[in-house]
Structure 1
Amino acid sequence: MSETGSSSHALKDPRPVVRKFQARPQHEGFGAVVRRSIGRFELKYFDPFLVLDEFSVSAPAGFPDHPHRGFETVTYMLQGAITHEDFAGNKGTIGAGDLQWMTAGRGIVHSEMPAAQGVHKGLQLWINLSSKHKMIEPRYQEMSCKDVLEAEEDGVKVRVIAGEALGIRSPIYTMTPTMFLDFILKPGAHLQQPIPFQWNAFIYILEGEGIFGSSRSSSASTTATAHHLLLLGSGDGVEARNKSSKMLRFILVGGEPLGEPLVQYGPFVMNTQEEIDQTIDDFEKGVNGFEKAKQWRSQAAIDLGF
Structure 2
Amino acid sequence: MLDFSNNRVLGVLIALAVTFTFFSIMVPSFLTVNNLLEMGVQSSIIAVIALGMTLVIVTGGIDLSVGSIVGLVSVVCATNLAAWGTLPTILVGLALGAVLGFINGAFSALFALESFVVTLATLNVYRGLAFLYTGGRPVFGLDQGFRDLLSGRLGPIPNPIILVAAVTLICYLILNRSRLGVHLKAVGTNSDAARKSGVAVNRTKVMAFVLAGTLSGLAALLLMSRIGAAEPISGTGYELLVIAAVVVGGTSLMGGRASIVGTVLGALLLGSIRTGLTLLNVNPFLQLVVTGVIILLAVLVDRAASRSKAKR
TM-score, length basis structure 2: 0.23
The structure where helix makes up a greater share of residues is 2
Q: Which has the higher contact order (CA 8 A, sep 6+)?
A: 2
Q: Which has the higher strand share?
A: 1
